[in-house]
Amino acid sequence: MERVEINKIIDRYFEGETSLQEEKRLRTYFNSEKVTPELEPYKAMFAFYENESKKSTSVEIPAEKKVSKKHAYKWTAIATVLIILAGYGVFKTNTTGVEQEKIANHDLAVQQTQDLLYMLTDAISTGQQQIDYLNEFSKTKNKILK
């Protein structure tokens, strides 16, 4: 009767469906001297697991630094300010020659401002997409590590 039960538990073990109690029962069975000849190959496997579980390592694995959302938003704000300043600088250098001639065409100035704002919007959108990608990567990594 025990042999049939052990066979069923082994099948469930390899399917990943056993409970901790059943796995403990398997370890106890294979550490005993009452192992049937047909299950003898599994005895070495469970002995290996038992020996490896007793080993310890002195290598310390450093904990990963988590980037909080607060820091992500902070860096997004800094990047936005830098983009605005860069856009202002580009606009200022592009219009210095025009300013000297006194901008007569108001529509041209409005068009240049709109173009600059579109460039700024695209840059901010790209930065936000990258932050979203990093957040998704972090979530996936945390799921895997748990």
pLDDT value at residue 96: 57
Average pLDDT over residues 9-32: 85
- Residue-wise pLDDT for 124-135, tens only, equals 877 777 777 777
CA torsion sign for 100, 103, 109, 113 is: positive
Which of 43, 117, 132, 54 minimizes the C-alpha distance to 80? 117
Joined together, the tokens standing for residue 51 give 């020996």
- Residue-wise pLDDT for 36-58, tens only, equals 888 788 887 877 777 777 777 67
Residue type, 81: V
CA torsion sign for 14, 17, 20, 21 is: negative
Between CA 82 and CA 136 the distance in angstroms is 25
